[in-house]
Amino acid sequence: MVDLTLTHKEISELSALMASGQVSAREIVAAFVSNLELHNATTNAFIAADAERALARASTLDALRGTGKTMGVLSGIPLAVKDNYLTLDFPTTAGSRVYDANPPKSDARAVALLREAGAIVLGKTNMHEWAYGATNKISAKGPTRNPWNTQHITGGSSGGSAAALAARIVPAALGSDTGGSIRIPSSGCGVCGIKPSYDFVSREGVLPLSWSLDAVGPMATSARDLRILLSAMIDGAGLGFNGDTTRIPAAKRKMRLGIPVGQGFELADDVRSAFETAQKVFAELGAEIVPVEISEMMEGFAAWKTILHSEATAFHAKFLSERPNEYADTVRIQLEAGRCITAADYLNAQQYRRGFNHKLDLAMTGYDAFIYPTLPVTAPMLDEEALHFEGVTVSAQDSMTYVAWFANLAGLPALSIPCGFGKQGLPIGLMLMGRFGTDFDLLGLGELFQTATDWHRRVPALASHSSS
């Protein structure tokens, strides 16, 4: 009998159970495979999976463990990989009909490192085509559906990875983030994800959207698990790594947290209420919370978009000329629009970026982190086109990137963790953004928050079974 209670446990808990001999890697993988069979048709989280290969690999690891061999920190842990990471044993399509390159000679560097740590790749997850969108509605494999309510989007572009975690199909996943694409679906699906500092984790073997904005990182159900995954993904090439992957701030230690305020930080009422509750949690943990005025958000957003569109169109120039009709219409239109951006426009945006980032760095001086809701709204419905909140009206797409983008423009680490639920019972995420290289400090703050809350342990109804 498959024990589905295993799918509700964190990576650290599963590892402890295996180390003590209470369960085998095969039993753990079998439990998550059962959830894949139960929930993937509903969520469309995975676009390719190989359960038999995963189970066989788990049996091999069990046999090695039985010989007394030292095992990797992620030994036997099932992993979902976003479909823009190159993988030796699965096709890579970026959610598109356009990409049909020959099989790679090696995994993406991040995948290779996680395999070396013992992780078992269960399959590839759905994504917004070419990561060029934040809803996950546009994919050659169809839209991904939110496990909390399948009439709603997951957010994207790493929506398949977030849905797989929320539905407890895997305990660990990979995403990529150009304007929030790890954090957005993490918020929308009630899971955790971190966009590391720029170049902190190797992007080798990950298909780009915008190379000066892109970051790759882990997704999981807790900040503690993100620490385990991110530690395994660092190979010494990352910039700004301060060497401390374990420190967690002590409860009641005096922390200073900034709340960015000004134009561009509007929120829906239910999200604001959840954010106020999250602030109270941090205050009880000893934090001083200070509003910090951030100006020029509209100008910064324009610079981010100019850089994104320019670099995306440059990468896709050959495909766009030879196979334009194989793109989804919305993706093709954005790529064609990028042709209208001049070299002067691009250089001006990059120059503006330097000034914006300098001002942001000064504003963050003296703070452990900035905190703010990851999204101004809960995940919209699949057919929802526009959203209205606090006097503004934005498209569903722009509501997803509303505040997430500026961590990418600045190259700063940003973490999303669950902090409550909205009016429709949909998850709300809290974003913690730190100065460059403070990735593990941010995770420590996330872990501290999660010692005082249980939102990260709650699961959608479709994954709430206890046994089978």
b/e per residue, 273-307, with b = 16+ CB within 10 A? ebbeebbebbeebebebeebebebbeebbebbbbb
**DSSP H or E stretch at residue 331:** helix 329-337
Q: Which of 75, 161, 181, 202 is catalytic?
A: 181
Burial of 400: CB neighbours in 10 Å, binned 0-12, 13-18, 19+: buried
Between CA 455 and CA 391 the distance in angstroms is: 29
* Helix segments in 172-238, DSSP class H: 183-189, 223-233
Active-site annotation holds for 195: no
Q: Which of 157, 176, 186, 197 is catalytic?
A: 157
Burial of 250: CB neighbours in 10 Å, binned 0-12, 13-18, 19+: exposed
3-state class of 290 per DSSP? strand
Between CA 3 and CA 28 the distance in angstroms is: 8
Beta strands (DSSP E) in 357-423 are 369-373, 386-389, 392-395, 414-421
Strands 215-220 and 287-293 turn out to be unpaired
Q: Which of 9, 82, 124, 141 is catalytic?
A: 82
Q: At what angle do helices 223-233 and 439-451 cross, to 10 degrees?
A: 160
Burial of 243: CB neighbours in 10 Å, binned 0-12, 13-18, 19+: exposed
Q: At what angle do helices 25-43 and 51-66 cross, to 10 degrees?
A: 160
Between CA 293 and CA 370 the distance in angstroms is: 11
Strands 255-261 and 287-293 turn out to be parallel
Active-site annotation holds for 158: no
Judge whether 215 and 177 are in contact, CB under 8 Å.
Answer: yes
Judge whether 127 and 156 are in contact, CB under 8 Å.
Answer: yes
**DSSP H or E stretch at residue 81:** strand 78-82
- Other CB atoms within a 10 A radius of the CB of residue 56 amount to 14
b/e per residue, 381-397, with b = 16+ CB within 10 A? ebebeebebeeeebebb
First to last CA, the chain: 7
Active-site annotation holds for 273: no
Judge whether 44 and 136 are in contact, CB under 8 Å.
Answer: no
**DSSP H or E stretch at residue 322:** helix 317-322
Catalytic residues: 82, 157, 181
